[in-house]
């Protein structure tokens, strides 16, 4: 049976969902567990959308609820986090403006005690390069929900290589249509099927 928070999100009960998030934070619940419940709620929303029960407006509303919940979790985490495990740069690649999946990855990485630089959406390759240089990040996460983003992923990996950063930086790719074949095409190091996979990869690469 689904968790109360997941159900509240899937039913688009904004106030109830945020109330539950805040109550769990105040009770000292692990932020990662809260994020997982929110993700379950978004999964339920996705199933309702696929079945025709929900439409684009409901999908957008659920995304906004998730963002607000994520903001609450992130704010609390920033107040309690200790030294970071490592530095990660994350963004949705150029030509794509989808951010729900990216935001989930960012939230889970922060909850796992990583310092995360979220570049947002429609990020050009040179912005990834610039941020890696400025922060010394050793992991880059490229997100994309549109197939047209595959080329941008490839261009970003190539830009990191041209800048001489590639040997010291691991690149992971992810998003709805992304597969290991896309990873190979882009020249990335790994493909993550979901946000938890992104954390697992970072742990492997940073020794966390």
pLDDT tens, residue by residue, 83-101:
568 999 999 999 998 887 8
Question: Which of 31-45, 91-105, 126-140, 162-176 is predicted with the least confidence, judged by mean pLDDT?
Answer: 31-45
For the chain, the average pLDDT equals: 89
pLDDT for residue 78 = 58
Euclidean distance between CA atoms 73 and 108, whole angstroms? 10
Closest listed residue to residue 7, CA positions, set 31, 40, 50: 40
Phi-psi category of residue 179: left, alpha or beta, with phi > 0 → left and psi -120 to 50 → alpha: beta
Euclidean distance between CA atoms 192 and 199, whole angstroms? 9
If one counts every other C-beta atom within 10 angstroms of the C-beta of residue 178, the result is 25
Q: What does the domain layout of the chain look like in residue ranges?
A: 4-80, 87-206
Kindly compute the dihedral angle of the four CA atoms of residues 23, 99, 80, 116, in this order, to the nearest 10 degrees.
170
Average pLDDT over residues 4-25: 95
Tokens of 16: 């109830």
Closest listed residue to residue 146, CA positions, set 197, 95, 88: 95
The answer to whether domain 4-80 has CATH 2.60.40.10 is: no
The answer to whether domain 87-206 has CATH 3.30.200.100 is: no
Report if pTM > 0.85. Answer: no
* pLDDT value at 79 more than 70: no
Phi, psi of 196 (to 5 degrees): -65, -35
Average pLDDT over residues 139-148: 93
Euclidean distance between CA atoms 70 and 15, whole angstroms? 14
């Amino acid at each position: 049976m689904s968790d109360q928070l997941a159900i509240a999100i899937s039913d688009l009960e904004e106030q109830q969902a945020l109330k539950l998030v805040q109550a769990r934070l105040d009770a000292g619940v692990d932020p990662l567990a809260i994020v997982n419940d929110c993700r379950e709620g978004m999964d339920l929303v996705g199933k309702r959308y696929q079945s025709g029960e929900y439409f684009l407006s409901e999908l957008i509303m659920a995304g906004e609820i998730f963002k607000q919940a994520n903001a609450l979790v992130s704010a609390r985490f920033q107040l309690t986090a200790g030294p970071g495990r490592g530095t990660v740069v994350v963004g949705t690649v150029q030509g794509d403006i989808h951010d729900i999946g990216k935001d989930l990855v960012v939230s889970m990485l922060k909850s796992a005690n990583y310092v995360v630089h979220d570049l947002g959406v429609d990020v050009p390759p040179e912005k990834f390069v610039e941020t890696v240089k400025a922060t010394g990040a050793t992991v880059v996460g490229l997100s994309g929900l549109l197939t047209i983003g595959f080329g941008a992923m490839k261009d970003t990996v190539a830009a990191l290589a041209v800048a001489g950063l590639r040997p010291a930086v691991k690149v992971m790719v992810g998003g709805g249509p992304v597969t290991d074949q896309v990873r190979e095409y882009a020249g990335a190091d790994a493909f993550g099927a979901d946000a938890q996979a992104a954390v697992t990869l970072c742990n492997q690469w940073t020794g966390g």
